[in-house]
Amino acid sequence: MHEILNVNYNNSWCYDIIFHNSYDKLGAELEKLELSNRKVCIVCDSNTSIYLQDVIENTKNHVAFVDSYVFPAGEENKTLDTVKNLYEHLIKAHFDRNDVLFALGGGVVGDLVGYTAATYLRGIRFVQLPTTLLSMVDSSVGGKTGVDFDAYKNMVGAFHQPKCVYMNLATLQTLPAEQFSSGMAEVIKYGYIKEAPFYQWLQDNHDRIMNQEYEIILEMVYRSCLCKKEVVERDPHEKGERALLNLGHTLGHAVEKLMNFKLFHGQCVAIGTVAAIHMSVMRGMLSMEELEEAISVIRSFGLPVGITGLDITEIIAATKNDKKMEAGKIKFILLEKIGNAIIDSTVTDDEMRAALEFIQNK
Ligand code: NAD
Ligand code: ZN
């Protein structure tokens, strides 16, 4: 089966998301972008380079020239240094304003290549070829690009929409199990913030998801992208509703930073989500049973739900550096009920402390 979703913001930008089980249909998509006179640089990391040849084969007859650039895998390389090296590569290869970058990899490659595309020659086109569950369900859609700066997450960035997002779901077969679980944190997030029935569906299909049955993964990725697409179409620049997608991210980013990126992004989001649900319980919006259920669901998808070896005061201090601050206040995402999130700027340090104490050593 081969599915397509179209993302369209007031006709000012518009692109397709293709869901398929190989790169066979990539050429047909590239034809729509009219690249026959254009150079393409396929950028990947040292792990996703296993798909480079396949992508080159499916690209070369549809563009004037195919180039590639590989950088070392890992969040620690999502930096301006890597961007600088890529700029140098593009300049040497005479990439001009009409040429195109491909981001072949997970969220690190997608964010970094997207940012390079946003800034090189004041902006060139790029295509997302996500290869992790996290990048398929979240980071490849919506046009947020950027890099970390001095270990501050996504401190430097730009909004820049891709021209096409092509997902070869078969690439998930080589993804390590922990990375698959990391992506599940963002999938479950959609259930909490918007789609209670999807949250139930995830629980009902738990085993088939963890066994990575193709049809069920396709449905899960598709439904996640549909949710993301609808949010970013309504609020592309995060003036309001899009902030709901940051459930679990304020404390999650703080943990991610303090752990020196040894925990994966989705793992940190899972931890932050449990903390946010705890705060929602303390405010009387959710029940203790719902919190216990959330913990068991998140755990069942192979995700951590607690912190060990971190200082709570340091975590709270680190949240103050998160860029989601507005006039000195942190914008927290809480759950009014399962499937309905709200933005709240009144969360106190004491509430954070109580939530962090609750998840400590869990
Ligand atoms: P990642 O890109 O680091 O990929 C995880 C690991 O898996 C890496 O080692 C990578 O080389 C490897 N890998 C990727 N695909 C593989 C495959 N098919 N087979 C084998 N190995 C593979 O991390 P991620 O979890 O995809 O993305 C996390 C990043 O995404 C974070 O930097 C986060 O801030 C960002 N993010 C951005 C957005 C956004 O809207 N732009 C949203 C969510 C997350
Ligand atoms: Zn995230």
What's the average model confidence in pLDDT over 30-46?
A: 97
pLDDT in tens, 112-154: 999 999 999 999 999 999 999 999 999 999 999 999 998 788 9
**Tens of pLDDT along 270-281?**
999 999 999 999
Distances in whole angstroms, Cα of residue 96 to Cα of each of 38, 111, 145: 9, 21, 20
Q: What is the CA(269)–ligand 2 centre distance, in A?
A: 6
Dihedral sign computed on CA atoms, order 111, 45, 53, 86: positive
What is the pLDDT, as a whole number, of residue 324? 65
Pairing of strands 325-326, 100-105: unpaired
Q: Which of 50, 33, 235, 215 is nearest to 128 (CA)?
A: 33
Total residues belonging to the chain: 362
The answer to whether the CB of 48 is under 6 A from ligand 1 is yes
Compute, in angstroms, the gap from residue 30 CA to the centroid of ligand 2.
Answer: 28
Minimal-distance CA residue to ligand 1 atom 22: 175
Checking if the pLDDT of 26 tops 90, the result is: yes
d(CA 63, CA 291): 52
Write the residue with the smallest CA distance to atom 42 of ligand 1.
139
pLDDT at position 152 is 84
Over residues 223-238, the pLDDT tens digits come to 999 999 999 999 999 9
- CA–CA distance, 186 with 198 (Å, rounded to integer): 13
- Does residue 246 have its Cβ closer than 6 Å to ligand 1? no
Both tokens of residue 337? 């009920």
Q: Which ligand is nearest to the CA of 135?
A: 1
What is the reported pLDDT for 323? 67
pLDDT of residue 1 exceeding 80, the answer is no
The model's pLDDT over 172-207, given as tens digits with 9 standing for 90+, comes to 999 999 999 999 999 999 999 999 999 999 999 999
